[in-house]
Amino acid sequence: MRKILALAIAMLMVVGLTSFASASEDPIKVGVCIYQFNDNFMTLYRTELQRYLEEKGAVVTVVDGKNDQAEQTNQINSFIAEGVDVLIINLVQASAADAVIPLVEAAGIPTVFINREPFVDDPSQWDNVWDKVCYVGADARQSGTFQGQLILNLPDQGDVNGNGAVDYVMIQGDMENVDAQYRTEFSIKALTDAGLTVNKLFEQRGEWDQAKGQELAATALAQFGDQIDVIFCNNDGMALGALQSIKAAGRTVGTDIYLVGVDALPEVVQLVESGEFTGTVLNDHIGQSHKAADVALELAGGATPEHTYTVDYVGVTPETMEYVKGVVGLE
């Protein structure tokens, strides 16, 4: 009886110590740097990222870089001084990775870059980078190709005025960003690869901004008028601005002009469904933010990551509409 009692007490002590150890473990501290809060897509992304990380028990601090790399670098240094366990960084400037990586490596803080790929010229560059750094995003070539396919799938393949060519306007994001580069290139490549003749009327940087998209579309419409068949925008924010200018010019999307974007913002998905917007491409903020969070927590726990993780884009078509609506919260 004494032996049984002693064994029971010992087991209770082990359980108690284990519970104490679990309770005493500090939660993982995550520092999140967003290039700027005033961005439609990154608002969806950061909101879901923070929610998901906190659901996993992490303590999360999210800061606004205000589209200023010097400001963001200061924020990174503050997180380092604070002693966060892992960083998630949406760079203001992709080229700043060359300065940021030595900072986090010297501090020994694992880092996940998101949304803006820091290395675009040569994938082998990753071989020389600290093994606790990685990138989570999507292949922007895919999004550009999907934009082109949305035009190819139209009855007139984008040639509204019937002159034998797709006369287009391109409103770009930040051209240092690989997403802007690839969306610009591959949207048009999809058309030329299919044998279509294209004619670029106007191409300007809108810096991902809705007001700038509206301004540039208004300029292009005033300059080229009915010559314009299609307005391509590197993101939905700028496309929403362009839509305002299209309406102000007395044009009607789907009737005498086409408009495509990327991101599948909820309001744009509704406009596509109602026929007021030609098309968009789902940039899966849920899939990307969850993957970034999962990888960050694994890194904080001592794991060594892959160099890159990608989440597929989805072209928004009648066949994919219900899936997309579910992802963006319209169901």
Secondary structure class of 84 (helix, strand, coil): coil
Looking at the chain, the whole-number percentage of residues with pLDDT higher than 90 is: 83
The yes-or-no verdict on residue 35 having pLDDT over 80 is yes
Q: What is the Cα–Cα distance from 185 to 145, expressed in whole angstroms? A: 9
> Average pLDDT of the chain?
91
159 token code pair: 């040639």
- 186 in the same domain as 125: no
123 token code pair: 């994938």
State the residue range of the domain holding 107. Answer: 28-138+284-312
How many domains does one find in the chain?
2
Closest CA to 208 of 330, 92, 288, 69: 92
* pLDDT attached to residue 123: 55
Q: How far is CA 94 from CA 98, 156, 209, in A?
A: 9, 38, 18
Mean pLDDT, residues 235-252 taken together = 98
Let me know if residue 223 belongs to a domain: yes
Q: What b-and-e string marks burial along 281-319, b requiring 16 or more CB atoms within 10 Å of the CB?
A: bbbbbbbbbbbbbbbbbebbeeeebeeebebebbbbeee
Task: Identify the CATH number of the domain in which residue 221 sits.
Answer: 3.40.50.2300
- 181 in the same domain as 114: no
Does residue 25 come out as left (phi exceeding 0), alpha (psi in the -120 to 50 range) or beta?
beta
pTM, two decimals, is: 0.83
- 245 in the same domain as 164: yes
Q: How many CA atoms lie within 13 A of 73 on its CB side?
A: 14
Kindly report, residue by residue over 167-222, the tens digit of the pLDDT. Answer: 999 999 988 888 999 999 999 999 999 999 999 999 999 999 999 999 999 999 99
- 54 in the same domain as 123: yes
- 158 in the same domain as 263: yes
Let me know if residue 61 belongs to a domain: yes
- 278 in the same domain as 213: yes
109 token code pair: 């803080």
Helix (H) or strand (E) holding 232: strand 230-233
Residue whose entry in the numeric block shows the structure tokens 């963006």: 328
Let me know if residue 329 belongs to a domain: no
What DSSP letter does each residue of 130-142 carry, written as one string?
Answer: -TTEEEEE--HHH
112 token code pair: 């996940």
- 278 in the same domain as 197: yes
